[in-house]
Amino acid sequence: MNTIQKSIFPTSTEASKNVAKEISLLIKTNNNAGKQTILGLATGSTPLELYKELVNIHKNQGLSFRNVITFNLDEYYPMNPEDRNSYVHFMNKHLFDYIDIDKDNIHIPDGSVSEDNIDEYCETYEQTIRACGGIDIQLLGIGRSGHVGFNEPGSTRLTRTRLVKLGQITRNDAAPMFSGVEHVPKQAITMGIRSILDTKKIYLLAWGKSKAAIVKKALTDKVTDKIPATFLQEHKNTTVFLDKEAASELVQEQLT
């Protein structure tokens, strides 16, 4: 059942360039065929080099994002989209401000939606993804709690876009950005495990020693909602891109 492909590189820079190449190839092929490309995007430190490389490919090789539609995985809640800690701000600063994407094609969960309307809002987010024909490539990072998106331990394989509580490890990891854990929002809106497993292709990225233990668990532990990333073992088209450090706890037979 575990069909996850592993792609290991000496450095995160080389790995990120390879992921960027794969994504740009799909966009180019779809552009030539007059088709749209639907990308699922993540935030955090992991995709930074990848986004930089996509911007490079746009600038230096003329790759156009006019026919690309994006859906981000998650957003803190509550969160004003204008806030410098919002994922809206993050995506503009690291990708969208430098490419020719149509702003109407960008979707990021809205951290300012009123609590009364959240369920309906989340359902609409799911419907919009479906109406586009589903996500072609979903990018994921992994949290030290084993979360993908903000699906913290306890998130089942049936979960879809919804309001969730953030765990303590996740809030501690975000504390430096917010100048103290007490300022980190306690909740988030996130695509669910089911929403992620419904995507056509998944690229999970992880760099550095601090991710080695959770990467090993995600790839080799029995599937469990205690480590939500293990659900990726049930997806038919997932590749993990690792640097040497993130792969360092996998033994030889787990590398193939």
Task: Give residues with Cβ within 8 angstroms of 108, minimum separation 6.
Answer: 71, 72, 75, 81, 87, 88, 91
**Of 69, 95, 129, 148, which lies in the binding site for ligand F6R, with binding defined by CB under 6 A?**
148
User: What do you get for the CA distance between the two ends of the chain, in Å?
Assistant: 14
**Catalytic site residue from 152, 234, 245, 249:** 152
Our finding on whether 238 is near ligand F6R (CB under 6 A) is: no
- Are the CB atoms for 210 and 246 separated by under 8 Å? no
Cα distances (angstroms) measured from residue 39 to each of 74, 87, 104: 14, 16, 14
Tell me which amino acid residue 64 is. S
Task: Give residues with Cβ within 8 angstroms of 37, minimum separation 6.
Answer: 26, 27, 30, 31, 67, 68, 69, 136, 137
> Smallest distance, Å, CB 47 to ligand F6R?
7
Our finding on whether 86 is near ligand F6R (CB under 6 A) is: no
In the residue annotation, 152 being an active-site residue is answered as yes
Our finding on whether 138 is near ligand F6R (CB under 6 A) is: no
- Are the CB atoms for 23 and 61 separated by under 8 Å? no
Nearer to ligand F6R by Cβ, of 141 and 192: the residue is 141
Interface stretch with ligand F6R, choices 98-106, 136-144, 232-240, 242-250 (CB under 6 A): 136-144
Q: CB burial class (10 A; 0-12, 13-18, 19+) of residue 57?
A: buried
Number of residues that bind ligand F6R (CB under 6 A): 14
**Of 73, 88, 122, 247, which lies in the binding site for ligand F6R, with binding defined by CB under 6 A?**
73
- Are the CB atoms for 21 and 63 separated by under 8 Å? no
Nearer to ligand F6R by Cβ, of 28 and 89: the residue is 89
Our finding on whether 152 is near ligand F6R (CB under 6 A) is: no
> Smallest distance, Å, CB 37 to ligand F6R?
19
**Of 12, 16, 24, 43, which lies in the binding site for ligand F6R, with binding defined by CB under 6 A?**
43
Strands (E), 43-146: 68-72, 74-77, 106-107, 137-140
> Smallest distance, Å, CB 214 to ligand F6R?
10
Nearer to ligand F6R by Cβ, of 19 and 73: the residue is 73
Q: What is the DSSP letter of 227?
A: B
**Of 24, 38, 44, 202, which lies in the binding site for ligand F6R, with binding defined by CB under 6 A?**
44
Q: Which parts of this chain interact with ligand F6R (CB under 6 A)?
A: 42-46, 73-74, 141-143, 147-150
Q: Catalytic positions, please?
A: 152
